[in-house]
Amino acid sequence: MPRVEMTDDQVKASILHRLYRRGRWGAAYMPTDTLVNWMSRQVRDDGLRVKRMIRRLRRVGHVRLSKKGETISLNSRHRDEIISFIERHLWAS
């Protein structure tokens, strides 16, 4: 799959969508490295941009990091916001 130009919001929506599809809510975590490696194959600027977007999502409260940042999950308190963000920036494209 070739790398594509994506806006920052599309990268964030793609991260959220990946976690959403895999059912990673609350205590169901995914290794952060796995997510970064998978996303870096699709997005330009490799893993650095993906890590930056994960930090921004954490600041807003959409994702939660645990185990010293080694795992990531969606914050179930922001469920409606996350789904609407994915719909606006990823599915509308």
- The answer to whether residue 62 sits within a structural domain is yes
Paired strand residues for 64: 73
Phi, psi values for residue 17, rounded to 5°: -65, -40
- The answer to whether residue 1 sits within a structural domain is no
State the residue range of the domain holding 62.
Answer: 8-88
To the nearest whole number, what is the mean pLDDT of the chain? 89
- The answer to whether residue 26 sits within a structural domain is yes
Mean pLDDT of the 8-16 span: 92
- The answer to whether residue 79 sits within a structural domain is yes
In this prediction, residue 2 has a pLDDT band, given cuts at 50, 70 and 90, of low
The total number of structural domains that make up the chain: 1
Mean pLDDT of the 34-51 span: 83
- The answer to whether residue 20 sits within a structural domain is yes
CATH of the domain at 78: 1.10.10.10
Per residue in 49-84, pLDDT (tens digit) is 889 999 999 999 999 999 888 999 999 999 999 999
H helix intervals, the chain:
8-21, 32-40, 46-60, 79-86
Strands 71-74 and 30-31: antiparallel
Percent of the chain with pLDDT over 70: 90
- The answer to whether residue 29 sits within a structural domain is yes
Amino acid at 73: S
